[in-house]
Structure 1
Amino acid sequence: MGTAAEETTQTCPQCGAEVRADSRFAAWCAGCDWNVDPARPEEKLGRLARARRALARRHGEKLLAEVTAGGTLRARRDAASLLAYAVALAVHGLTVALVAGGIWFVVWGWGGAGMVPGLFLLALGWSLRPRLPRLPEDVPVLHRTDAPELFALVDDVAHVVGTRGVDAIAVNARINASVTSYGVRGRRLLTLGLPFWEMLTPQQRIALLGHELGHYSNGDTRHKLVVANADRSLTTWHYYFSPIPDPKPLEVFVNLLYIAPRWLVLGVLMLLDRLTLRATQRAEYLADRMAARAGSTEAALELMDRLLVADSAVITLQREVSGAALTGPRGSRRAEDRADGLWECLAADMASIPEHERERQRRAGALRGHSVDATHPPTHLRHECLLAGAAVPAAVPVDDDRERRIAAELTAARTKVARQILRDGFGG
């Protein structure tokens, strides 16, 4: 089911050195970095996105400099974070005021014209309301009775990083993992992207759990929920004040009226970014430390490397989707076989990626810096941050018997997600 590797040899056109490569990956020169990043994205960014990238770069490099100079990363809320929290609460307060004003107008003008502004304010407040995450309904969700061994592993890792376990685990078809709180009671949800889980070794999975649960122990999820909802409300406001395209004479006047509030909203959005980026990046560095504590420094570094080669996983899954489509309706048995073997194929392809391709991805990531993600520090800075301290062994070692039991508990979810990918395609 995989693609056979073939070694190729050529001369570097830049420095003349011999370049040995794997036919599945880009040929590049380790001596002069020729072709190290052939697919570097050229993004056209707006003013807000450019400002976010610039701030992220400054904060990420400053934090790293503090750590490598002997400083420490601490789970704390500095003045900027507290001010961001206050700004977020003010944004939510405006939403509450709109709702309260709407109720007053409706009650005061009941049955008359006064109800019109009241209903308008209520509708506006409803569109700006904070949203509490809920359990997903379109992917498998596991509870303790469904996967006791998986939850036991999560509990062990949670104990190591200084927090409690989760109440539910959702399994989806993404190359990602995350944690959040859901519902009014703030229950905990861990979301595991099954393609990501399956491309990791058992020890790397422990490091992944340590990283994600580390966000709980550092208090990031509670803080993020309030600020993220404020950011969403401000983004909605910015949309409402967007200029009307191809305006008529009256709409030109409306666009002029929109300029001041639109820039005010944009200013508050940029202020929130400035106040939260440092804390956001500190949270990622801290979560990486928790990953190392749970799964070992080596496993935490390998986990980051697996993220760097995620594009290879996407190609593997897309190739399997194409193969399943070619079987046609008469090949249902072959399609079932592909679903059953999808994860084994993905794991084998990931394990076969040569070290020189991993090194190319590391160098390409260093060149791109914050060009891909404005909130997470670049992988090469996260590497340096972990390596700045003493390497630590795994506090939660791999248990082969437990791994087999966890795999058995995930059987139904693995089959369901594999069939979903082969049926609907895979976008990453």
Structure 2
Amino acid sequence: MMRNDRQNDEMRPTSVLVDTLEHPDGSVLIQCGKTKVLCTAMIENKVPFFLKGKKTGWLASEYAMLPASTATRKVRDAARGKIDGRSQEIQRLIGRSLRQAIDLTKIGERTIWIDCDVISADGGTRTTSINGAYIALKLAIDKYMKNGLIKEDPIKNQIAALSVGMVGGTKLVDLSYREDSRADVDLNLVFNDRFEIIEIQGTSEGNPFTVEQLNDLIKLAKPSFEEIFALQRRATAKHSKKELTTLVLSTDNSHKVKEIKDLLGDLNIDIKTKSDVLDAPLDVEETADTLEGNATLKTKALRDKTDEAVFADDTGLFVNSLGGEPGVHSARYAEAYDHDDAMNRKKLLERLGDATDRSAYFKTVISYIDKHGKEHLFEGICEGDIATEAHGEHGFGYDSLFIPKGMDKTFAELTESEKNAISHRGRALEKFKAFLMEQ
């Protein structure tokens, strides 16, 4: 089975709109495909009776599907006189999951109420609710901290959820209702941003599935979890970010500069290139035998010329059957044609010939030196295969030869947003962005 609208390991397009309501301490409208959920967080100055005098708070949740959220009108719980069993199970899951995100001893004797109301349902309502509920929770906590009502940040980690399953023997990520209704295996995963398991809900509708298949499904979902965590950070950034100094990037490569500015564009920082701040050219000989070493050489050389915080990246393509070539020499692979993308690609294809093992990975390392002179490193990796010939007009370098794992297109055939969501540089920059937001 192959999806028509997305790859099997690709989640549905997801967007969020924060501060959608006036009264809650935190609110977000989250949409995943055709599923839409309104999530709110409200904090009240009391706790359940069993916690009175215990110097700790509580978090509880409620979940409901609005009558028009499905094709057939869903009767309200109030009209039936009791909570629907499915709704009760889901709201307990949301509460258990969100309590893993927060140290309740740091909020005082207060209760945080999380409400998730499904406006439109097309599969994944519980996972979408958890993803939006974390954002609402973070917004509410940020508001209380800004007003001095909570002194110490109680958020311990991010929480995200995603459905995975098997339909007709094919492993899929983020099932729509049509897929979920036909699934042989149906799982809901809840992880924190350290990729520790919060909860796994799963069942086999047909034949039992193996531990190996379970592990494969979890591995398949990991890139999508990274996307969700990045989306959550972006959604809460304007509430939590601090003023940052200018950051100087140690490159003038227009393609690379655009990618980096696109990926960091929602932060309140001013990214300049080295030619923007230096009076004379700065050429650094990349003599290290690792990406980390070369990236650090560039940041140190630039830092010697400016008092601003600086960062640089070094990227390499590592082809397994060639012993890791071109690796750190990727930009200079065809030595006689320094930094000639076409000649580099030609040499790579010639070296590979008709090899059957064409597996490879891109790796990016970002070196950052802050205004205090402290060094930091961030890494991103994207696995894939080398095509037998170039395809696509976008990107640069080896993009037209590299097919990311799980896809049937090269980087050069993807849109910028598609590439940035899965690329090595995108993953390294998301880690860098998360670090900057916490400073």
Is this a same-fold pair by TM over 0.5?
no
Identify the structure with the greater strand proportion: 2
Q: Name whichever structure is richer in helix by fraction.
A: 1
Of structures 1 and 2, the one with the larger relative CO (CA 8 A, separation 6+) is 1
Task: Indicate the TM-score class for this superposition, using the shorter chain for normalisation.
Answer: under 0.3
